[in-house]
Chains A and B, each alone.
Chain A
Amino acid sequence: GAVVSQHPSRVICKSGTSVKIECRSLDFQATTMFWYRQFPKQSLMLMATSNEGSKATYEQGVEKDKFLINHASLTLSTLTVTSAHPEDSSFYICSARERQSGVTGPQHFGDGTRLSIL
């Protein structure tokens, strides 16, 4: 089955540090990847959509200079939380959409990254 690998799974760091999270589709090509944020016992909040080779599209209220997204290849997207502060602590999950012929493919999720800023 389609596997999305996300690293690291857990980050604990000091306020002001920048944190980079990687998301890879291991056995399929993903023209589109999505980044979500999830608070405890809440739903998934879409932060941004990235297409390979182009700039990411951010949802309203998400600071693009704070959350830098790079989608350099069909299998890799990265999210960098710049100068992270305690309010950025959350569970970040990436998702990759399968490239399928003729139809829009399903989305598969990574394991998520629990970010804790001290």
Chain B
Amino acid sequence: GENVEQHPSTLSVQEGDSAVIKCTYSDSASNYFPWYKQELGKRPQLIIDIRSNVGEKKDQRIAVTLNKTAKHFSLHITETQPEDSAVYFCAARERQGSTLGRLYFGRGTQLTVWP
């Protein structure tokens, strides 16, 4: 099955700085890569996603890049704010068809933004 590695496990930045979280995946057939933000005791919230036919996607201060050849994708948050503090999970979805299209998650990154 798919194996998703995520780094770093913790990340502390000063308000206004950028934050980058990186993930790798093992199954070259995976074709969809979402990022979720989870605040303590709350649901994971989809913040951005990218499909395998696209190399980069941006939504205001958040961007995701995908390198299919190297099988890695990254989340970039610019101009960080204290409210960005949360746990961020990357995920890779197995290609639907002969499989269930399950999401496999990384272990998460605790991002702390200091004011």
A-side residues, CB < 8 A to B, are 4, 32, 34, 42-44, 46, 49, 57, 93, 95, 97, 103-104, 106-112, 114
B44 in complex: contacting residue of A46, A57, A93, A103, CB < 8 Å:
A93
Contact: B43 with A46, CB < 8 Å? no
Contacts of A34 in B (CB 8 A): 102-103
* Minimum C-beta distance from B48 to chain A (A): 10
Contact: A106 with B102, CB < 8 Å? no
Known interface pairs A49-B102, A104-B32. Does A43 touch B107 (Cβ–Cβ under 8 Å)? yes
Looking across the interface, which residue of chain A has its beta carbon closest to that of B36? A109
Known interface pairs A42-B107, A43-B89, A43-B108. Does A108 touch B46 (Cβ–Cβ under 8 Å)? yes
Contact: B43 with A112, CB < 8 Å? yes
Contact: B43 with A111, CB < 8 Å? yes
Contact: B44 with A104, CB < 8 Å? no
B-side residues, CB < 8 A to A, are 32, 34, 36, 41-46, 49, 51, 89, 93, 96, 100-108
Known interface pairs A104-B96, A106-B34, A106-B46. Does A46 touch B106 (Cβ–Cβ under 8 Å)? no
Contact: B101 with A97, CB < 8 Å? yes
Known interface pairs A44-B44, A104-B93. Does A57 touch B105 (Cβ–Cβ under 8 Å)? no
Looking across the interface, which residue of chain B has its beta carbon closest to that of A59? B102
Contact: A46 with B103, CB < 8 Å? yes
Contacts of A109 in B (CB 8 A): 36, 43-46
Complex Cα spacing A97 to B106, Å: 19
* Minimum C-beta distance from B25 to chain A (A): 14
Complex Cα spacing A32 to B99, Å: 12
* Minimum C-beta distance from A79 to chain B (A): 16
